[in-house]
Chains A and B, each alone.
Chain A
Amino acid sequence: MRVAGCDIGSLTAKVIVLNDDAIEAKAVIRCVSSPEKSAESVISQAFSQTGLTLSDIDYIVGTGYGKNRIPFANHTESEITCHAQGVSALVPEVRTLIDIGGQDAKVIKISDSGQVSQYVYNDKCASGTGRFLEIMAEALEISIDHMGELHDQAKEKLHISNQCVIFAESEVISLINEGKETPDIIWGLHTALANRASSLARSVGIVPEVVFTGGVAKNPGVAEAIARSIGLPLADFPLDPQISGAYGAAIIALKHFKK
């Protein structure tokens, strides 16, 4: 039995192919001009690793921002459900899931039976989302992929006082002009982002274990800052945290097909 999960987000598209419950192929691409094209492109990239074609897949579940426009999905599921399912399948002890994507942030509480019990969502304000770090990386003229390692080199713990991305960007430029060190600024930015996420999490109550997923979770600096901000360690997540939504969609596909 072979199934797939396809997560079309605002910035990236993700696919996971499961052969029974083992990951057979996966791919992440930057979104292109339309959700349809992103979906086609990400699945063909996953197929190119294995020589599979669409006809080899028994069932496909779509999710994410562009879920209704995935041409090959058999059905769609909400992102919240997929994220919760994906995380529960891998780390059953998780009760609080913090997910920060390119254009949103969500905190999902998971019951003892692995169901979503409550969630909060921010997609109205860019602050607190991956876009915040993208804009700051541009202002600092560094690659977003290097922010995590630079975080560890911070000496002076800078405080970023503005929450708004637009105002914080001006604040960062002032800090650069004052001669502040890049790692110190990054530490401040990661802390600001983490504080935003943890206040979202506090609004629903934080119960351990806590796991951090989404594209931003690839940045260990933000993970460190979140653990510090909530005062709890983060559980290890044994998968690329960016593809946990796609993984959850694939797990749902598996359950659905077994029925």
Chain B
Amino acid sequence: MKIVAGCDVGSLTAKAVILKDRRIIASAIVRSRAKPQQSADNVMSEALSQCGLSQSDIQLCVGTGYGRNQIPFVNHIMSEIACHAKGAKWMMPSVKTIIDIGGQDCKIMRIDKNAQVQNFLTNDKCASGTGRFLEVMAQVLNIDISELGSTTQKSHSPITFASTCTVWAQADVIKHINDGVPPEDIGAGVNAAMANRVAILVRSIKPEKDIAMTGGVAKNQGVLSVMEKILGLRIKKIRKSDPQLAGAIGAAIFAHEKITNN
């Protein structure tokens, strides 16, 4: 019996997954704290308590994400790109193109049948096109970020933005709210702006089917549907697990492979 874990400490959330013989027995997502160590400890103890295990039961743990160098309990660390590719492949074996939108970055990857990354592009320089854009706008709209996705379906005339900059778009949103524009039209405009921005990156990597979306923003149906429209390609929905866990799952699979190969 092999019990391993993956821990992905991102900029906005920390994720942990525990595998028993390659099957997920526990997973957790917590909001990141000021210190990556703290976020890692929190998320791992939540996952452990779910399956009634303790840290000493974990035979190997792989860490990844923005805070990977500061996770106290990991045996190995791996790059986010490698873990996301691995995790996405596990969730959807037919996947060739992965669009991962996290809290503060966006990664587009093309992988081969062995989950080897052939090409990738990232944006972590500009908040526009990352989860942060949606967070800022949801806050101004005073709605929960989980409700933002459904506005696209409800809206008949989404607003458009003159600029992609999060700061300028935020000012536009405030102006639209004051002008009495229905919140669903603003929300739908926000989702479309996000999709447009990311689609530029996706196009430049020449996407191949199947295409999957991972990361927290994959839960936003509005962004997903607009992106499909812009790209003219279907984005296959991940059903096997929470798409936000892709990095942590990938890390855990690496951990499993490491003890299996040794």
Contact = CB atoms under 8 A, between A and B. Distances in A.
B166 interface: yes
Interface in A163-178: 163-167, 177
Contact of B125 (A103, A123, A164, A177): A164
User: Which bracket fits the contact residues of B?
Assistant: 10 to 19
Nearest to A162: B125
Nearest to A168: B127
B164 A165 contact: no
A126 B165 contact: yes
A167 B34 contact: no
A124 B164 contact: yes
Contacts of A164: 125-127, 166
A70 to B, nearest CB: 21
User: Which bracket fits the contact residues of A?
Assistant: 10 to 19
Interface string B163-177: 111111000000000
A123 B165 CA distance: 10
A135 interface: yes
Nearest to A178: B34
A126 B168 contact: yes
A83 to B, nearest CB: 22
Contacts of B104: 167
A177 B136 CA distance: 21
Main secondary structure on A side of the interface with B: loop
A131 interface: yes
Contacts of A163: 125-126
Given A162-B125, A164-B127, A177-B34, 12 more contacts: A103-B168, A124-B164, A124-B168, A125-B126, A125-B163, A125-B165, A126-B165, A131-B167, A163-B125, A164-B125, A167-B104, A167-B127
Interface in B160-190: 163-168
Main secondary structure on B side of the interface with A: loop
B167 A166 contact: yes
B197 to A, nearest CB: 12
Contacts of A165: 127, 165-167
Which of B127, B132, B166 lies at the interface centre, i.e. has the most chain A CB atoms within 10 A of its CB? B127
B139 to A, nearest CB: 12
A135 B125 contact: no
A228 B176 CA distance: 41
Contacts of B167: 126, 131, 135, 165-166
B198 to A, nearest CB: 16
15 contacts: A103-B168, A124-B165, A124-B168, A126-B165, A126-B166, A126-B167, A162-B125, A163-B126, A164-B125, A164-B127, A165-B166, A165-B167, A166-B127, A167-B104, A167-B127
Contact of B163 (A124, A166, A167, A177): A124
Contacts of A123: 163
Contacts of B127: 164-167
A181 B132 CA distance: 27
Nearest to A126: B167
A124 B126 CA distance: 12
Interface string A70-107: 00000000000000000000000000000000010000
Nearest to B34: A177
A123 B127 CA distance: 16
A135 B168 CA distance: 12
A124 B104 CA distance: 20
Interface string B100-143: 00001000000000000000000001110000100010000000
Contacts of A166: 127, 132, 136, 166-167
A210 B127 CA distance: 32
Contacts of A167: 104, 125, 127, 132
Interface in A202-257: none
B36 to A, nearest CB: 12
Contacts of A126: 165-168
**Leading 4 A-B pairs by shortest Cβ distance:** A126-B167, A166-B127, A125-B165, A166-B166
